[in-house]
Amino acid sequence: MDKMRAARLVEPLKMVCEDASLFEPKAGEVVVKNHMAAICGSDLHQVFFSTRRAEEFPGEPGWPGHEGVGEVIESHDDSLKIGDRVLTVPGGGFQRCFADYQTLPASWCLKLPDYDGPVEDLLMAQQFGTTIYALRRGNMDFVGKTVAVLGQGSAGMFFAWLAKHFGAETVIVSDLSPARLAQSSVFGADIAIQGDLEGRAIKEAVMDTSNGRGADIVVEAVGREETIGQAIDVTGIRGNVVFFGLPDTRKDIAFNYWKFFMKQIQMYGVVNAQAEADMSSFHKALDWIARREIDVTKMVSHRLPLESIGQALTLAHERDEDALKVTLTF
């Protein structure tokens, strides 16, 4: 077996499925036969806002996928054996989940727990794990606090659930999509606000709920210049802002420094959960899902075959049909 189907970025904005060669495993690595992969917001940035030069096309087969579940079919590491079912959370140059097979270090594979539900539920542990890592990094106390989450994509819903789980008194969420907001209560939202680009509605809701103090903790899970400004605007004195949404530009983004300074806000930018030494955030995510402490059964909105990679990316990018989490099947 030396050939596989793999998605490949062949030119700007164009990703296709084609035959490719498997990557040869080295010591400490495994080959995983993929069962399902999920599209992450960061994948969309790599495809639709790529800064690659012309000579850098085509991209590597399977790139930039990094949320996958599958079965080990070849192992060069004692920690995993053939037949192990794993969640793959690759980083670095190993983000190649959009293919029939992926070769990656065993350290970026987590054995799946016993679970009688569909495997796509456990696949959600990759993104869920990144949100757990994000809130752990800030080391914030949620008990009795007012929390605002801007954006109700899958990550935003996980943040809302975690805030409530960690003891927040009130969780306020906002999004432009009524369909997403309709699901928010399932994930812990107390108040769901139809967003607007000016941020008037979310500011009014936060100020009314907090008696004018502002939110204690704000999570920006969109990555737009407008919501970055809104996050600072609705944060209270000595509040915390977690920036999780990845902007669609690498240019400077302006924000109101005066408000940030005078409110004494602490801000955190969070990325690269795979760098966590013990992968404990991903393990915790798998455990909570397997024990059904969190219900992720409605998180996957679309399932498309690998051959439809272009359609899947467009669906996730444009949020057609109220796409939440778009997955690829193999």
Q: What is the pTM of this model?
A: 0.94
Kindly indicate whether the domain formed by 3-124+299-329 is annotated with CATH number 3.90.180.10. Answer: yes
Predicted local confidence at residue 324, as pLDDT: 92
User: What's the CA gap between 266 and 243, in Å, rounded?
Assistant: 11
298: number of Cβ within 10 Å: 12
Give which of 247, 204, 256, 235 is closest to 138, Cα–Cα: 235
Residues of the chain with pLDDT under 50: none
CATH architecture of 131-273: 3-Layer(aba) Sandwich (3.40)
Predicted local confidence at residue 50, as pLDDT: 67
Give which of 295, 246, 254 is closest to 47, Cα–Cα: 246
User: What's the CA gap between 17 and 199, in Å, rounded?
Assistant: 40
Strands 68-75 and 29-38: antiparallel
Domain ranges in the chain?
3-124+299-329, 131-273
Predicted local confidence at residue 289, as pLDDT: 98
Predicted local confidence at residue 53, as pLDDT: 65
